[in-house]
Amino acid sequence: MGKLYKFLKYSFITIWTVFVVAPFLWALTTSFKDFNSVNGGATYIPWVDFEPKLEGWKVLIKSPANGGVDIIEPYFNSLFVTCTASLISIVLGTLSAYALSRFTFKAGFVKNNDITFFFISQRIMPPIVLSIPFFLFLGAINLLDSLIGLIVVYIVLLMPIAVWIMVDFFNKVPREIDETALIDGCNPYQAFFKVVLPNSVPGLIVAGMFCIIFGWIDFFFAFILTFTEVQLLPVKIVALNSSITPWWSLSASALVSVAPLIIVAFIVERYLSKGNLSGAIK
């Protein structure tokens, strides 16, 4: 029984690992291939099956004048927009989530749960519904094709995620923690910043991770709200494609675009495995 279980367990882990890692390895080898190595049948091992070339990578950093595509600027644009929008969403989202979790609001038939649902409903709605309003809105305030405009739009997209995760998280942080802080002599703001917030770091990390992922991978709004002045990475990568698909540079750009998420995943995994996400009291 024990042996069979072990065998099945490790077989499953192996298969799963191959399943997850293979596309990355494929992209990695492809990024070093040239036209002939890609189109002349499947090749696998560098130096044996094909001669590695740096062409796929070089194109990414060359300026368009020299026949490249220059993804460096879009890369930093993406980083900047994602991080700023995530940060603002987390700050606003956490504050509203705390309010929704701890205080009772009532305006006619609208109560706390309805407000929370209103936030979440922004994510349930198909994004395309928002495209025309956003376009007209940004146009009206002269923020089309600008980083600030994108940040504003991304906050609308990301804050519901932060509110949703944090409301749930705060609901699980017992009220006694806040009450104890009050009894110990904090005012409600100190209770929030000194006691509740430090206890909520795991929730903040999860919410932050989701915001970063959803912000980073967004193509749709980046595509319709920017033109020439500002470009974000996903749009730029799609623009790499042409009648002859450049698999090598597409692979290379896919790898660099996924790199930040992998780094985030590793950091969060460290944190998760420390057990810091376990219950705050009892």
Partner 1 sequence: MSKIDLNNISHSYNPNDPNPVYALNPFSMTWENGKRYAILGPSGCGKTTMLNIVSGLVRPSAGNILFDDKDVTDLKTESRNIAQVFQFPVIYNTMSVYENLAFPLKCRDFSQSKIDERVKSVADTLNLQSFLNSPARKLTADQKQLISLGRGLVREDVAAVLMDEPLTVIDPDLKFRLRRKLKEINEEFKTTLVYVTHDQNEAMTFADNIIVMSEGEVVQAGTPKELFERPNTTFVGYFIGSPAMNLFETEASSNDSVKINDTIIKTNTNLTNLKDKKIKLGVRSEFIKIADNQKENLIDVDVDKVEDLGNYKLLTAKMGNFTIKSKINRETEVPSSNVKLHIPAEKCCVYENEKLI
Interaction site with partner 1 (CB under 8 A): 174, 176-177, 179-187, 190, 195, 198-199, 201, 280-282
- Residue pointed to by tokens 């989530």: 97
Nearest approach, Cβ of residue 178 and partner 1 (Å): 9
- Of 43 and 180, which has the nearer Cβ to partner 1? 180
Nearest approach, Cβ of residue 211 and partner 1 (Å): 23
- Of 133 and 185, which has the nearer Cβ to partner 1? 185
- Of 196 and 212, which has the nearer Cβ to partner 1? 196
Nearest approach, Cβ of residue 282 and partner 1 (Å): 6
- Of 92 and 280, which has the nearer Cβ to partner 1? 280
What would the 3-class secondary structure string for 25-63 be?
HHHHHHHCCCHHHHHCCCCCCECCCECCCCHHHHHHHCC
- Of 51 and 184, which has the nearer Cβ to partner 1? 184
Q: Helix, strand or coil for residue 104?
A: coil
* CA angle at 220 for the pair 123 and 157, rounded to the nearest 5°: 30
CB atoms closer than 10 angstroms to residue 52: 14
Closest CA to 276 of 220, 216, 198, 163: 198
Nearest approach, Cβ of residue 218 and partner 1 (Å): 33
What type of residue is 276? N
The DSSP element (H or E) to which 106 belongs, if any, is: strand 106-107
Distance separating alpha carbons of residues 232 and 151, to the nearest angstrom: 12
- Of 139 and 188, which has the nearer Cβ to partner 1? 188
Distance separating alpha carbons of residues 242 and 261, to the nearest angstrom: 27
Nearest approach, Cβ of residue 196 and partner 1 (Å): 10
For residue 195, how many C-alpha atoms fall within 13 Å in the half-sphere facing its CB? 21
Nearest approach, Cβ of residue 207 and partner 1 (Å): 18
